[in-house]
Structure 1
Amino acid sequence: MPAFHNLYRHGFVRVAAFAPHVAPGDPMENAQRLIALAKEADKSRAALVLFPELSLTGYALDDLHHQALILQSAEQAAAALIEASRDLMPVLVAGAPVAVDGQLYNCALIIHRGRLLGVVPKSYLPNYREFYEKRWFAEGPSAIADSVRYAGQDAAFGTKLLFAADDLPGFSFMAEICEDLWAVHPPSLDGALAGANIIVNLSASNALIGKAREREALVRVQSQRTLSAYIFAASGSGESTTDLTWDGQTLACELGETIAQGPRFEDNAGLVTEIDGERIVQDRLRFSTFRDGARNAREHLTGWRKVSFTLAPPLDETLPLERTIRRFPFVPSDRERLDEDCFEAWSIQVEALVQRLRSSGISRAVIGISGGLDSTQALIVTARAFDRLALPRESILAYTLPGFATSEATRGQAIALAGAMGVTHREIDIRPAAERMLADLGHPYAEGRAEYDVTFENVQAGLRTDYLFRAANHEGALVIGTGDLSEAALGWCTYGVGDHMSHYNVNAGLPKTLIQHLIAWAARTGRAGEAAGPVLERILATEISPELVPAGENGQIQSTQGVIGPYPLQDFTLHYVARYGFGPEKIAFLQETAWGESSRSDWPDHVAEADRHHYAMADILKWLDVFHTRFFGQSQFKRSAVPNGPKLTSAGALSPRGDWRMPSDMSAKLWREAIARLKDELGD
């Protein structure tokens, strides 16, 4: 079996893109420079190496493209590059002028292990402002030939070529050249529908102020529109600067996200990163419009040909990812982006509740507050919704409902928050009613025995819900839900009670890791009011606990994360299970990359020191087992009966009316067996 710590085992494809220092008009010298960079990429076990447009000759040769000696030398240089590739693993994509049937084409040469796999001519030739390509080249789609004899080899020729590794699922690519991307209908639109997961662009785009941003935007959007990865390499140093300058920009984007950028204005600049082929395949499976696009564009997809090759990556080696995997997929690393996302999430919650209050005609709300994260966020949202509707905050009835394990600290935080928010606070001590119910049930606790079982816990949880709903009946109010997305995924809620049931749940789409940052953002920006800031800070510093079981003799309180796992790890798993459908083996590899002791990921500034943990593989597998057992085998019946609430993230809200549908009586056997095999393999 391939090594677990080998990126190719997990559906990744390592790619490189370079902007080599060009020797204009000296193809053989350029070939040697490309060979040197290809050997570097081979050492890193890259599967694909991209070079810029006309990289064997130089782009800015102008009329010299029609010089016979240049064209002959370019073909000889291509032969040298092909020969040098025999002992190299990666597929090489280089640019050269190629004459076919009396026409000259600006082409991409696709080379692998001594073979010229194909030659792809440029489709769209710019002939405006500084560009005069129609003076020298013919458009690719006008070509009649479907094969070419070049550099001593016969190869497929045309704009509709798909290159696919027969031994690496997910590694399929097509090439387009520079202006093709700027066209109204880029060839990559059809190439993606024809099966290309990766699009490469050989470019000679010159440098202008702001143009690098324009290129990145185009590449990023095209990767999103085509549900693909898009690799871009532009000409760099050495090109003639008679009238233009070249920056050597290299980019890699995947599904609308920039995953790597090389430096600009440097000799031999470039990047090495990985494309997640499985992620692309999974997205295409789930997006029905991608399938519809293939159907509607059928006439454009005729004539596409697949050229197969065998990559033979070294699967027995340890090959960790160069690519950074975000530890917090729901929380942006950049502070400015985090603030934008927090504002948007908060606004979505507020807008959702405003509409529910308007449509119901109800002008009062009941919410149970515990001094913990979820009810705090729900109260902040509710207060803002009432402000939007010009309703008095006094009409928000915030109840504290202390039970057998409620601490004075959390109770005090809840009361202080209600005061700071200007809502009406009420308190009902549920202990007398709970003692009566336990006695009626014949529970050992009623006889003085400290038996803190599920009945003991749920009697308290159920009574709180009973009081909130009856208070809402009595006051003509709406019960605001507090349960979050992470709890729904793990089934960390009691069926039919407060963290599961409400009239409307504003937190339904919020993962726990994002809730923490939303509250911190509210404190930092004053969204909850200046008076609330200090109490919000105390709430954020409080350990997450349901407070249903009294503290032990050593003062240890009931810990949520001690039972269901650290929320950062479990939210990470939730993202990749619900959004991409990844299996536990792939997720374990990603988690170790992000959270392991050897992780190279930087900690965002907004992550507190106390939350900066690393996890050993044994812990990763332990909590993966907990997640999959609870998510697939124990909790769907609860998710099948959740109240309404807004979706906030791409992972969805796990609502049976929206993103997530699965049988309530499903077994987790398949996932648990996969985790057990992984434990055996890794010895954890």
Structure 2
Amino acid sequence: MTERLIIALAQMNQRVGDLAGNAAAILQMRERAGGADLLLVPELQLTGYPPEDLVLKPEFLRRTEEEAAKLVAATQAPGPAVAFGSIVLRDGKPYNAMIVADGGRGLFVTSKRELPNYGTFDEKRVFASGPLPKVFEFRGVRIGLPICEDIWLEDVCEHLAAEGAELLLVANGSPYELDKDDLRQSLVQSRVATSGLAMAYLNRVGGQDELAFDGSSFVVNPDGELVVQLPDWEEALLLTQWKRSSGKWTCTTREQHELDQFPADIYHAMMVGLRDYVQRNGFPGVILGLSGGIDSALSAAVAVDALGPDKVWGVMMPSVYTGSTSVEDAQECAELLGCRHDVIPIVPGVDALSVMLKDAFAGRKPDLAEENIQARLRMVTLMALSNKFGHMLLTTGNKSEMSVGYATLYGDMAGGYSVLKDAYKTTVFKLSRWRNAHKPDDSLGPDGPVMPQRVINKPPTAELRPDQKDEDSLPPYELLDPILVGLVDAEKSVAEVAAETGADVKVVAEMEKLVLRAEYKRRQAPPGVKIGGRNFGRDRRYPITNAFRTAR
């Protein structure tokens, strides 16, 4: 009877749809894990996660099966057995599965039973649900291989324990959210307590469109002790030692990495999401409007940290309403970051449009239309540079603005990606203060501050009219953001939010009206990294035409 096992945990990045590239990465990990008995890689590591509607494409499924067969055959070369995530077809239906291969042949296949269909997940749209899984016997050890969501409900783990499993290895594709580390560990410890079995929780890393995956893989022993904690945000390979003692399998390896705390975790999610989005979509870098305000300063800092200063291009586009301090602050931001900085005034363009629209606007006082012309001319300028040189336009708006529609459609909302899309304004301030005092370990940016303190201290303004301040149109962000958290993230009524925040009911009702009215704008906004549990786009999907209000 086997008394010891070496299980290699490979916390890996993936590229959705890159079947050959993902397979090659798995085999490279296998070479590195040469002393192990079994190599475990994340959920759908072969296809990339989430594959979304690629699963509905027959050619994608056919080629996935081809690549999986090649990967199985490649295990004939010396090395550990491999448990890898892929898609298998049964009776014409696709299943999210784990395949175990060794010696050039497939040993075992198990399918995901619990398909998440909430928030960012819609796996029931593309996958069939598997049966209650069987236990896999490997070198005399009975192993359960639940897949991600299978452990979030009790049935699968209880079933595997009843079937005689001796330990549980869980492959995951679990995206980052605030406070999710504690939630995962609490969940796993609960399953360990009820099953009496040790569990290895393996998660992927990297960015995929609006999702950032933090890794943070770990192992919990039967007594509930967390004995292994892999790092967050980076690939890692650890050969864990396991032994049978008193009839139970335990992990004897001890490895601990400190995980990011708030707000470092958010900042890292933004870096990872932007880095993989830009690089994997083939952009040479990013360009953004550097206005001298805090949103563009933070966006530029994230971009420089993720991509390097040579890949970031800031453009200041002053109008007649732009203050000299804004011009100075934008330039100092670029100097601190070491990125390119250009100044292109939009005054000639505004003047030209004023002449062009003079007759059409005759008899009308200047209003929001003239303000938005400035924002849209900035977009035209940035997109012209993007088209000419290939850099992706980075949008700099935050979640507070996007919630209430305090943004110009086809103006400052235009772009290819938004790192602040899921960050409220008060979070933007916290992130800016944090980054001025800390540098992420894997940052490509500078040591020290990345923006002048004045950028953080001065009142936010769009500078589209004389002496304009955000608070002319909105409640102070210290009040607005808790209101929005209640209305958007918690889906509470106006009365409930007013009671919780102490805000006037009329103010909350007005914010609810603005949130619902701005839905059409958000449908046309660029993607951006998900931070909380209720982001716009993947999680919160409201009708554009909608007459319902919680305020009577």
TM-score if structure 1 supplies the norm length? 0.42
Which of 503, 508, 515 matches 1:624?
A: 508
* Other-structure match for 1:362: 283
**Contact 1:349/1:381 (8 A) holds in 2:** yes
* Other-structure match for 2:471: 561
**Contact 2:315/2:344 (8 A) holds in 1:** yes
* Other-structure match for 1:265: none
* Other-structure match for 1:585: 495
CA-to-aligned-CA distance 1:525-582 (integer Å, 9 cap, x gap): 256635635x4311011111110002xxxxxx21112212121222112212223221
Q: Does residue 490 of the first structure (1) align with residue 407 of the second (2)?
A: no
Cα deviation for residue 446 of structure 1 reads 9.7
Output the CA distance in 2 between the equivalents of 1:370 and 1:413: 8
* Other-structure match for 2:532: 649
Tell me the percent identity: 23
Counting matched residue pairs gives 304
Output the CA distance in 1 between the equivalents of 2:526 and 2:366: 29
**Contact 2:329/2:455 (8 A) holds in 1:** yes
Q: In structure 2, what residue type is equivalent to 1:591?
A: T
Which of 531, 541, 546 matches 1:661?
A: 541
SS for the counterpart of 1:571 is: helix
**In structure 2, do the counterparts of structure 1 residues 672 and 358 end up closer, same or farther at CA, with 3 Å as the change threshold?**
same
* Other-structure match for 2:375: 461
Q: Does residue 525 of the first structure (1) align with residue 438 of the second (2)?
A: yes
* Other-structure match for 1:405: 321
Which of 387, 390, 393 matches 1:479?
A: 393
Output the CA distance in 2 between the equivalents of 1:517 and 1:421: 19
The RMSD of aligned alpha carbons is 3.1
Output the CA distance in 2 between the equivalents of 1:490 and 1:357: 28
* Other-structure match for 2:550: 671
* Other-structure match for 1:348: 269
Which of 449, 452, 456 matches 1:540?
A: 456
Which of 298, 303, 306 matches 1:382?
A: 303
* Other-structure match for 2:344: 428
Cα deviation for residue 397 of structure 1 reads 1.4
Cα deviation for residue 347 of structure 1 reads 0.9
**Contact 1:366/1:477 (8 A) holds in 2:** yes
**Contact 1:364/1:475 (8 A) holds in 2:** no
Output the CA distance in 2 between the equivalents of 1:464 and 1:442: 20
Output the CA distance in 1 between the equivalents of 2:475 and 2:488: 18
Which of 349, 353, 357 matches 1:437?
A: 353
SS for the counterpart of 2:341 is: strand
Output the CA distance in 1 between the equivalents of 2:489 and 2:421: 16
SS for the counterpart of 2:287 is: strand
**In structure 2, do the counterparts of structure 1 residues 404 and 671 end up closer, same or farther at CA, with 3 Å as the change threshold?**
farther
Output the CA distance in 2 between the equivalents of 1:623 and 1:514: 22
SS for the counterpart of 1:479 is: strand
**Contact 2:436/2:448 (8 A) holds in 1:** no
Q: In structure 1, what residue type is equivalent to 2:292?
A: G
Output the CA distance in 2 between the equivalents of 1:444 and 1:345: 47
Cα deviation for residue 503 of structure 1 reads 1.1
**In structure 2, do the counterparts of structure 1 residues 374 and 582 end up closer, same or farther at CA, with 3 Å as the change threshold?**
same
Any gaps of 5 or more consecutive residues in structure 1?
1-187, 191-216, 227-336, 388-392, 551-556, 593-616, 674-684
**Contact 1:629/1:672 (8 A) holds in 2:** no
**Contact 1:353/1:385 (8 A) holds in 2:** yes
**In structure 2, do the counterparts of structure 1 residues 399 and 496 end up closer, same or farther at CA, with 3 Å as the change threshold?**
same
Cα deviation for residue 667 of structure 1 reads 2.6
**In structure 2, do the counterparts of structure 1 residues 548 and 339 end up closer, same or farther at CA, with 3 Å as the change threshold?**
farther
Q: Does residue 640 of the first structure (1) align with residue 523 of the second (2)?
A: yes
Output the CA distance in 1 between the equivalents of 2:405 and 2:291: 19
**In structure 2, do the counterparts of structure 1 residues 452 and 415 end up closer, same or farther at CA, with 3 Å as the change threshold?**
farther
Output the CA distance in 1 between the equivalents of 2:337 and 2:421: 22
**Contact 1:401/1:427 (8 A) holds in 2:** yes
SS for the counterpart of 1:340 is: coil
Pairing of 1:241-320 with structure 2 (within 5 A): none
SS for the counterpart of 1:432 is: helix
SS for the counterpart of 2:313 is: strand
CA-to-aligned-CA distance 1:147-205 (integer Å, 9 cap, x gap): xxxxxxxxxxxxxxxxxxxxxxxxxxxxxxxxxxxxxxxxx989xxxxxxxxxxxxxxx
CA-to-aligned-CA distance 1:496-550 (integer Å, 9 cap, x gap): 222x1201111111111101000000111256635635x4311011111110002
**In structure 2, do the counterparts of structure 1 residues 442 and 572 end up closer, same or farther at CA, with 3 Å as the change threshold?**
same
Output the CA distance in 1 between the equivalents of 2:427 and 2:260: 11
Cα deviation for residue 445 of structure 1 reads 9.1
**In structure 2, do the counterparts of structure 1 residues 224 and 429 end up closer, same or farther at CA, with 3 Å as the change threshold?**
farther
**Contact 2:285/2:312 (8 A) holds in 1:** yes
Cα deviation for residue 494 of structure 1 reads 0.9
* Other-structure match for 1:516: 429
**Contact 1:394/1:423 (8 A) holds in 2:** yes
Cα deviation for residue 354 of structure 1 reads 1.1
**Contact 1:485/1:510 (8 A) holds in 2:** yes
SS for the counterpart of 1:425 is: strand
Q: In structure 2, what residue type is equivalent to 1:355?
A: D
Which aligned runs of 4 or more in structure 1 are off by greater than 6 angstroms?
222-226, 443-447
Pairing of 1:41-190 with structure 2 (within 5 A): none
Q: In structure 1, what residue type is equivalent to 2:509?
A: D
Output the CA distance in 1 between the equivalents of 2:470 and 2:402: 14
Output the CA distance in 1 between the equivalents of 2:274 and 2:439: 20
CA-to-aligned-CA distance 1:340-382 (integer Å, 9 cap, x gap): 1221111111111111122122222211011111111110011
Cα deviation for residue 671 of structure 1 reads 2.8
Bigger Cα Rg: 1
Which of 484, 496, 506 matches 1:574?
A: 484
Output the CA distance in 2 between the equivalents of 1:488 and 1:546: 14
Pairing of 1:447-458 with structure 2 (within 5 A): 451-458=365-372
**Contact 2:374/2:464 (8 A) holds in 1:** yes
Higher helix share: 1
Output the CA distance in 1 between the equivalents of 2:359 and 2:324: 26
**In structure 2, do the counterparts of structure 1 residues 672 and 395 end up closer, same or farther at CA, with 3 Å as the change threshold?**
same
